[in-house]
Amino acid sequence: MLRAGMDLTLGELHLDVDLEVADGEVAALIGPNGAGKTTALRAIAGLHPLDGGRIEVDGEVLDDPAAGVFVAPARRPVGFVFQDYLLFPRLSALDNVAFGLRCRGWGRAAARSEAGRWLARLGLADQAGKRPRALSGGQAQRVALARALITDPRLLLLDEPLAALDAARRPQVRSELRRHLATFDGGRLLVTHDPVDALVLADRLLVLEGGRITQVGSPAAVAARPASPYVAELIGVNLLQGRASGERTVRLASGAELVVADPLPGPDVALALRPQAVALHRHRPEGSPRNCWWATVEDLEARRDRVRVSLAGPVTLVAEVTPAAVAELGLVAGARVWASVKAVDLSAYPV
């Protein structure tokens, strides 16, 4: 259990953040560049001392300037997976993973054999002798994960764990990471600027803007009710969970089925859909859209030149339309409309 009240100034940035991460929980700090996400992680790891506030993990105080307490990074029960992974280039994958145990006084042979077990657990047994340079991005990430977890931390921090990967490899590595994160029972706090990473990996989002947390909630709650224009634009995507019921068909919990354009990546998927891609109609539309249903307007919210329309029905989601469309369709709470989505606008991610 992490409890952190952090107050620190670094150049232009003034970080003033209170956050908690429970054991077993995956929390994501999400926000624009320069919001202070990485600085917050570094403060928790002890790489930036606080100016004020207090950080504690499982009741142990790690940093409290007022009380004169500062525990060095090496002595914190915190694992850190860095952006770009920062594997030691001159050590093999095996010795990278064994490093933390060697620092704790383990003998070389014992540390290596334990590291070998961790590599095998992450499916990397045959990569043990390779130097980091010879590993793929996804393999390097797993080595970094094993290296951080082998010391048995009570909190795991991950800084942009997927940013170093090219777009084609991300979905698969993302779902592997999700699986491996699930095997760790401490708290997990990850930093990302990618809403899909946050939505797929995290149980709870902490939105950080300009050094302050502006919104906290489950991915669905944050996406449904974004508290700021940034969140609305970046995270305000609809996220639907479902199971594959055909090569290109997803069945949602409500029983509704949605058709996607490309073959599905796995049996359990998350579908991401931008609110602007949801079309609303007074009558059942004819022609191409195959995903079409009869929905009830729950709520309307004006946001700059757009109106966000919350819809209930077989598919719960948010549509974003122009004020003119609202007037034309006579949208009020309780009104009934047809909603449609093109298959190509649904992006499927393995879960």
Partner 1 sequence: MTGRRRPSRGGERREPWLLLGLAGLALAYVAVPLLALLQRAPWRDLGALVRRPVVIDALALSLTTALAATAACLLVGVPLAWVLARSRLPGRSLARALVTLPMVLPPVVGGAALLLAFGRRGLLGGPVYEATGLLLPFSAWGVVAANAFVALPFLVLTVEAGLRAGDQRLEEAAATLGASRWTVFRRITLAQAAPSILAGGVLCWARALGEFGATVTFAGNLQGRTQTMPLAVFLAMESDREAAIALSLVLIAVSLAVLVPLRDRWLPG
CA angle 80, 117, 75 (to 5 degrees): 30
CB of 115 to partner 1, least distance (A): 12
CB burial of 33-46 (b: ≥16 within 10 Å; e: otherwise) equals eebbbbbbbbbbbb
Which of 13, 22, 58, 73 touches partner 1 by CB under 8 A?
73
CB of 71 to partner 1, least distance (A): 12
- Which run of H or of E encompasses 199? helix 195-201
- Show Cβ contacts of residue 217 under 8 Å, excluding neighbours closer than 6 positions: 204, 205, 225
Which of 29, 38, 63, 82 touches partner 1 by CB under 8 A?
82
CA dist 247 and 260 (Å) reads 9
Nearer to partner 1, 151 or 214 (CB): 151
Which of 29, 35, 78, 206 touches partner 1 by CB under 8 A?
78
> In terms of Cα–Cα distance, which of 97, 99, 103, 109 is closest to 145?
97
Q: State yes or no: residue 282 binds partner 1 (CB under 8 A).
A: no
Q: State yes or no: residue 53 binds partner 1 (CB under 8 A).
A: no
Q: State yes or no: residue 186 binds partner 1 (CB under 8 A).
A: no
Q: State yes or no: residue 283 binds partner 1 (CB under 8 A).
A: no
Nearer to partner 1, 45 or 307 (CB): 45
> In terms of Cα–Cα distance, which of 43, 12, 5, 62 is closest to 191?
43
CA angle 349, 1, 188 (to 5 degrees): 25
Q: State yes or no: residue 86 binds partner 1 (CB under 8 A).
A: yes
Which of 47, 120, 302, 312 touches partner 1 by CB under 8 A?
47
CB of 144 to partner 1, least distance (A): 9
Q: How far is CA 299 from CA 238, 282, 326, in A?
A: 15, 17, 12
Backbone angles phi, psi at 45, to 5 degrees: -80, -10
How many residues form the binding site for partner 1 (CB under 8 A)?
23
Determine contact, residues 86/140, Cβ cutoff 8 Å.
no
Question: Residue 301 carries which side chain, given as an amino acid letter?
Answer: E
CA dist 284 and 280 (Å) reads 9
Q: State yes or no: residue 90 binds partner 1 (CB under 8 A).
A: yes
Nearer to partner 1, 148 or 237 (CB): 148
CB of 130 to partner 1, least distance (A): 18
Which of 72, 109, 167, 324 touches partner 1 by CB under 8 A?
72
DSSP state of 239: E
Q: State yes or no: residue 79 binds partner 1 (CB under 8 A).
A: yes
Nearer to partner 1, 82 or 293 (CB): 82
Q: State yes or no: residue 213 binds partner 1 (CB under 8 A).
A: no
Which of 66, 67, 74, 167 touches partner 1 by CB under 8 A?
74
Determine contact, residues 44/69, Cβ cutoff 8 Å.
no
Q: State yes or no: residue 76 binds partner 1 (CB under 8 A).
A: yes
Which of 22, 88, 113, 263 touches partner 1 by CB under 8 A?
88
Q: Write the binding mask 129 to 158 for partner 1: x where contact by CB under 8 A, - elsewhere.
A: ------------------xx--x-------
Q: State yes or no: residue 100 binds partner 1 (CB under 8 A).
A: yes
Q: State yes or no: residue 67 binds partner 1 (CB under 8 A).
A: no
3-class secondary-structure state, position 295? strand
CA dist 220 and 204 (Å) reads 9
Q: How far is CA 2 from CA 23, 72, 103, 237, 268, in A?
A: 8, 17, 24, 29, 31
Residues forming contacts to partner 1 in the complex (CB under 8 A) are: 45-47, 72-76, 78-80, 82, 86, 88-90, 99-100, 103-104, 147-148, 151
